[in-house]
Structure 1
Amino acid sequence: MLTIYGCLRSRASRNIWLAHEMGLDFRHVPVVQANRLADPLAADAPINTHSPAFLAINPNARIPAVDDDGLILNESLAINLHLARRHGGSLGPADLAEDAQFGMWALWAATEVEPFAINILYHRVTKPVAERDPALAEAAIAALAAPFAVLDAHLAATGFLVGGRFTVADVNVAEVVRYALSAAELFEAAPHLRAWISACHARPAYRRMMAERDAEQIA
């Protein structure tokens, strides 16, 4: 049995989307971030990233984490690469070359996109207005112009990231790109990327994950 630890308003969304895509049976433990709680170690606190039971799973105190039949893994993108290899069918690698490309795109998303996309999300959407820094958001938008142009050109030629079909690579990169959606100007300049992210978000498994995310009750 696969167990996924982490609330959906976290990077666990990536793992749950992929699990739905693959039709996996899994147990979801909605661990929340400790910083959402006034006292994460209170007796009546929900299970959170500082709970001893969760720290036994991931001593880094971060979500998500998974237990896949006794194999404990952390780091959302790496988790998805593992799930695709083990369970993925057409979403997983057809050969070593595709597996290498999946890893390349995951690292590309983590290094070239996510540090900037997360600042767009924080400083345009999620932080209280008084705590937002518009200059940080604008700098992040400027920094993403070049990697988004690279992705747009790749998608213009192939339609998907790897193998001419929807795979775990698309899930991983789409979930990172999602953080930048409020920067409409980036997507206007990258029409193939815009069409691709729209197609990703139209998938039933993504819609199911987002409906669960919207319904989630967290502190």
Structure 2
Amino acid sequence: MLTIYGVYCSRASRNYWMAEELGLPFQSVPVIQARRLADPLSASAPVNTKSPSFLAVNPMGLIPAIEDDGLVLAESLANNLYLARKHGGPLAGANVREEGEIIAWTLWAATEVEPHTVKIVLTYDNGQDNTPDGKALIETCVKGLERPLARLEQHLQTQDYVVGGRFTVADLNLAEVLRYAMSETDLFDRHPAVKAWLGRCHARPAFEAMMAGRRKEVEAA
């Protein structure tokens, strides 16, 4: 059985969403970010990214990680590419060309988009969004996203999804990276095709199932 290490309120959300899309049974091992704890190494601390038990799984101390048939992987977007390739179906590339496009869009999300979006979400998570420095950082990140979103906007003018005219792992990976910036509503209003595409991605039952897991974590905190 697939094992996913990490809480839903983390990048592990990408892997939980993917497992739901594929209909895979999975075991969830909650691992919280050490930065959220006053003393992550205390005996009473929950399993976190500095816990020896988790470092034995991923020595880098980052979530998520997955374990599947003895294989351990610890990069969230790559985890999804692996699961799509293994299980096939419409989320995977139908041929070598589509597979190349899926990989390219995933790497684009990681290199051109996420460096900006993750700073936005962390600024909000740290309660700094209304401080002068926080506002300035968010503004800089939004400016940095204008060119990538213009590229995606153009791409989506003639198709509903990123690759192959259907929802694939490329859409899932990119949508999860962009979700970190959805607080910036004006940015998405300036890119209506991107906004509509995100709406289609987020209307999927598997996304709703993943978000339900996030809400349960927040309520239990």
Amino acid aligned to 1:154: H
What is the 5 A alignment of 1:67-82? 67-82=67-82
- CA offset digits 1:28-63 (Å, max 9, x no partner): 001111111122222222111111111111000000
What is the 5 A alignment of 1:125-136? 125-129=124-128, 133-136=134-137
What is the 5 A alignment of 1:53-132? 53-123=53-123, 125-129=124-128
TM-score normalized by the length of structure 1: 0.95
The alpha carbon displacement at 1:189 in A equals 1.2
What is the 5 A alignment of 1:1-219? 1-123=1-123, 125-129=124-128, 133-216=134-217
Which region of structure 1 is more displaced relative to structure 2, 179-188 or 162-171?
A: 179-188
Distance 2:47 2:116 in 1: 30
Amino acid aligned to 1:186: L
Q: Aligned Cα RMSD in Å?
A: 1.4
Amino acid aligned to 2:139: E
The alpha carbon displacement at 1:88 in A equals 3.6
Which region of structure 1 is more displaced relative to structure 2, 191-200 or 209-218?
A: 209-218
Distance 1:102 1:56 in 2: 31
Structure 2 residue matching 1:90: 3-state secondary structure: coil
- CA offset digits 1:154-191 (Å, max 9, x no partner): 11112101111001000000000111111112111111
Give the gaps of 5 or more residues in structure 1: none
Which region of structure 1 is more displaced relative to structure 2, 129-138 or 7-16?
A: 129-138
The alpha carbon displacement at 1:19 in A equals 0.5
- Aligned pair count? 218
Structure 1 residue matching 2:27: 3-state secondary structure: strand
